[in-house]
Amino acid sequence: MITSVTTHSPAETASFAESMATALEPPATVALYGDLGSGKTCFVKGLVRGLGSEDLVTSPTFTLVHHYSGPAGRIRHFDLYRIRLASELDDLEIGAVPDDIVVVEWPELMEQRLPDNVIRIRFELIAEKMDERKITVEFKDA
């Protein structure tokens, strides 16, 4: 199933993500596609809040992964922007813990490793409209 929304502010993107969190039950993997500045990390902030965690969400661009904890379990937030070789993914153990919720920015390099039930979310900037983002959610129907 594919569905899309257009948001008009970072707050709107975060609250859209927050509302999506209720549908997420571990084990779940969410793959976030889109250019720099398209709103992926902003989305993760809302998602983590929606999962009931008050942990501070920041971009793991340099650290590759951040962990947050919420009532539903651990959330692992990856950013693979700086990864060049698929073999580097082995060390990250992305699919290692089945009970985790895994969120991945720049997932292109691990396309082959994404689970069957992955939720793909694409972020697009809209020309001339600074604060608008088109967000397309794609997942397999149960």
Ligand X SMILES: Nc1ncnc2c1ncn2[C@@H]1O[C@H](COP(=O)(O)OP(=O)(O)O)[C@@H](O)[C@H]1O
User: Which residues of this chain interact with Mg ion, rule CB under 5 A?
Assistant: 40-41, 59, 105
Which 8-state DSSP code applies to residue 55? P
By the 8 A CB rule, do 39 and 133 touch?
A: yes
Residue 132: what residue type?
Answer: E
Query: Minimal distance in Å, beta carbon 88 to ligand X?
Result: 20
- Choice between 5 and 86, CB closer to ligand X: 5
Query: Minimal distance in Å, beta carbon 41 to Mg ion?
Result: 3
Query: Minimal distance in Å, beta carbon 39 to Mg ion?
Result: 8
Interior CA angle at 25 toward 20 and 26, to 5°? Answer: 130
- Choice between 36 and 140, CB closer to Mg ion: 36
Residue 67 contact among ligand X, Mg ion, none, beta carbon within 5 to 8 Å by kind: none
From the CB of residue 74, how many other CB atoms can be counted at a distance below 10 Å?
A: 15
Residue 95: what residue type?
Answer: G
- Choice between 9 and 117, CB closer to Mg ion: 9
Interface with ligand X (CB under 6 A) = 7-10, 12-13, 34, 36-42, 59, 105, 123, 131-133
- Smallest Cα–Cα separation from 26: which of 63, 88, 69? 69
Query: Minimal distance in Å, beta carbon 1 to Mg ion?
Result: 25
- Smallest Cα–Cα separation from 103: which of 5, 21, 8? 21
